[in-house]
Amino acid sequence: MGMTVAEPASGSASAQSPVRSRRDYPGPPMHAVPGLLRKLWFDRLAMLTDAAREYGDVVKFAMGPKTLYFFNHPDHAKHVLADNAANYHKGIGLAEARRLLLGDGLLTSEDEVWKHQRRIIQPAFRRDRLAGFAGVVTDAGEALKARLSTRVGEVVDLSAEMTRLTMSVLGKSLLSADLSPLRMLGPAFEEAQDRAMFEMVSLGAVPLWLPIPRNLRFRRARGQLEDAVEVLVSGRAHSGGSDGTDLLSLLAGAYAGERDARKRWRVLRDEIVTILLAGHETTASTLSWTWYLLSQHPEAGAAMHAEAMEVLGDRTPGSEDLTRLPYTTTVIQETMRLYPPVWGLTRRSLAADEVGGYPLPADADVMISPYTLHRHPGFWPEPDEFRPERFATATAVTTHRYAYIPFGAGPRVCVGSHLGMMEATLIAAMVARDYRFELAPGARPQPEAMLSLRVRGGLPVRVCRA
């Protein structure tokens, strides 16, 4: 993504303090542990935001058997995610999701397995392929607008619509498949994430075989996801695939030599479930929060509408329009600053390290949070305000490159960032040309920090013509 930010740092806390002893870590006292665990389950964002406000850029959460090291300076993010990335594996949340659902897919695999997979998958996201995906995006945008046209004046759950849209784009662009018959995918992923988060917070104390409702719901959801993958893979085996260059073909081709059928199925399953999850929820979250913010800032909505009218007129946009939609682009960037779909990047240290002058033990759980970094008062003036203009010029952002990391950073940076950004921008422009949305009376959307930042309870809005 073309970022309009510049190094070096001009932030508050210096990351280069002298090495301290382990006792020096700032953080909540032991008697705060029960409250912390409650917050970890009910309000992870408040837990991090409050801690950053109270203790600064380095916080140690000692929570009984678990200790979480929270680093909130962009230099810390650079060190952990990029400069010394080789010393870190994926951490809490993702580790549970790996065990429960994602296995060794690209998001959660490590080391040589990850390198091998990234080499296989990357070509599916090449720039020349992306231009071709624009048609898939705008077809889905037209289908969405056709649905909205029958609902003018009514209340719809826009976040469900965004999930439906991004799932459809993902299916047609990367898997050459129509995922619309698989409507249970969205809810199934919700169940699966709920269980992964529960596992994280309960510190693995409730085994999966216990027949409690949460476990039963999870097992059903996981079964549905696996059935869906089977439909996709076997459908491909029969039809012979698309033109042989989409992601599903690349994966099937790469693992065709694997003689052990069970192993072959396992790697394909892990890769496809991962792409289904990583590829749709994040973009749906971006678009949902965009519509929410625009409903609260009608002047920004009007500016986006005006840009779409001027640039697109009656046309359906293409990828060449992306550079002609600068205001819409800044709205998406600012939305991802305030509501980064991936709110927490968790890591586990392999060997002992030093971060921001603090000694970090081996095998330590580390949290870097785009959510708190993006609202760090040392790097962002009026950090909680929605001001798309701050992304309009390089000089408007007087910040550090690692103070804005919606797609992560370093070797594990998002493989789908250009697709996600193109999709969000084109859909936002197409829809804003014809529609605006008013939050339904009484609705108070709140972020829900699961693996991605969802809108708790959906986004009920009244559909209005722009």
Binding site for ligand HEM (CB under 6 A): 90, 106-107, 118, 170, 174, 274-275, 278-279, 282-283, 286, 336, 341-342, 345, 406-408, 412, 414-416, 419-420, 424
Which residue reads 């309960």 in tokens?
A: 202
In whole angstroms, what is the distance from residue 164 CA to residue 144 CA? 9
Write down the least CB distance from residue 198 to ligand HEM, Å.
20
Q: What's the CA gap between 198 and 192, in Å, rounded?
A: 10
Give least dist CB 456 to ligand HEM, A. 19
Token reading at 172: 């047609």
Minimum gap (Å) between residue 207 Cβ and ligand HEM: 26
CB of 271 to ligand HEM, least distance (A): 9
Separation CA 457–CA 446 (nearest Å): 8
Q: Please give the Cα distance from 177 to 232 (Å, whole number).
A: 7
Give 274's Cβ-side CA count (13 Å radius). Answer: 28
Nearer to ligand HEM (CB atom), residue 27 or residue 193: 193
For residue 339, the minimal CB distance to ligand HEM (Å) is 10
Question: Of 40 and 106, which CB lies nearer to ligand HEM in the complex structure?
Answer: 106
Q: Which is nearer to ligand HEM, 37 or 185 (CB)?
A: 185
Answer yes or no: are the C-beta atoms of 462 and 443 closer than 8 Å.
no
Give the residues across from 454 on adjacent strands: 448
C-beta of 410: minimal distance to ligand HEM in Å? Answer: 8
Residue nearest ligand HEM by beta-carbon distance: 416
- Which residue's CB is nearer to ligand HEM, number 403 or number 463? 403
Nearest in space to 192 (alpha carbons), one of 114, 274, 90: 274
Question: Strand 345-349 relative to strand 435-439: parallel, antiparallel, unpaired?
Answer: unpaired
Q: Write down the least CB distance from residue 175 to ligand HEM, Å.
A: 10
Minimum Å distance from CB 233 to ligand HEM? Answer: 17
Whichever of 97 and 463 has its CB closer to ligand HEM, that residue is 97
Alpha-carbon distance 431 to 437, whole Å? 10
Nearer to ligand HEM, 15 or 247 (CB): 247
Q: Minimum Å distance from CB 214 to ligand HEM?
A: 25
The two structure tokens encoding residue 355: 């971060």
Identify the sign of the CA torsion 248, 94, 353, 400: positive
Report d(CA 460, CA 454) in Å as an integer.
14
Nearer to ligand HEM, 109 or 295 (CB): 109
CB neighbour burial string for 311-345, b if at least 16 within 10 angstroms, e if fewer = bbeeeebebebbeebebbbbbbbbbbbbbbbbbbb
Would you give the end-to-end CA distance of the chain in angstroms? 29
Residue type, 57: D
* Helices and strands per DSSP (H, E), number in the chain: 15, 12
Q: What angle do CA 410, 413, 416 make, to 5 degrees?
A: 160
Report the residue number, 273 or 308, with the smaller CB distance to ligand HEM. 273
C-alpha 442/C-alpha 290 separation (Å) is 19
CB atoms within 10 A of CB 348: 17
Kindly tell me which of 267 and 336 has the beta carbon lying closer to ligand HEM.
Answer: 336
Of the two residues 199 and 246, which places its CB atom closer to ligand HEM in the complex?
246
Which of 362, 378, 359 minimizes the C-alpha distance to 25?
Answer: 359
Beta-bridged to residue 353, according to DSSP, are 360
Query: 257: alpha, beta or left, given left = phi > 0 and alpha = psi -120 to 50?
Result: alpha
Closer by beta carbon to ligand HEM, 308 or else 424: 424
User: In angstroms, rounded to a whole number, what is the distance separating the alpha carbons of residues 390 and 364?
Assistant: 36
Give CA–CA dist 346/367, Å, rounded.
5
Min separation Cβ 29 and ligand HEM, Å: 30
Output the smallest distance, CB 411 to ligand HEM, in A. 7
Nearest residue (CB) to ligand HEM, 89 versus 462: 89
Min dist CB 274 to ligand HEM, Å, is 6
